[in-house]
Structure 1
Amino acid sequence: MAVKRVGIKEFKDKATQLLASEDLLVVERHGKPIGFYTPIKRADPEKVREAAARLDAKMEELAKRLSVSVEELEDMMFSDAR
């Protein structure tokens, strides 16, 4: 992640463009930092789907080993959390 230093006027004039980038922004007034913008990294939807599929497969495998349904396994795992 790159760090970009911008003056307050540039930030005001180009906020939409600057905030669309993945750069960490240091907003400055008269060369001194007055604020920071740290973008949130967006999750890759394909990686999220792959992780969910792996989790589903592991849950099914574990449920089979325990001779219970996936729903029963979920109840066992999360009954205290509810």
Structure 2
Amino acid sequence: MKSISIHEFRDKAAYYLKSRETISVKRHGKIVGFYVPVKESDETEVQAALTRLSQSVNEVLTQSGWDEEKLSIALDLSQPE
């Protein structure tokens, strides 16, 4: 899974929105979200995308050594950094 900064995602949004690659988006070096592409109005594709998202989150947890609670806290943008 590719990881990019939020600025790169913003600046190259058209490129990434055409891509079929799942991407983690980072802000100040911390993952703040994921982009998981799906085909329009295709329920099977939406379910497949959710499966890919789950796999990506599990990959992040494995690589970081974090548990779901720590990842949830890291992704909580309402908290000050």
Q: Give the TM-score normalised by structure 2.
A: 0.45
Structure of greater relative contact order (alpha carbons < 8 Å, 6+ residues apart):
2
Structure of greater Rg: 1
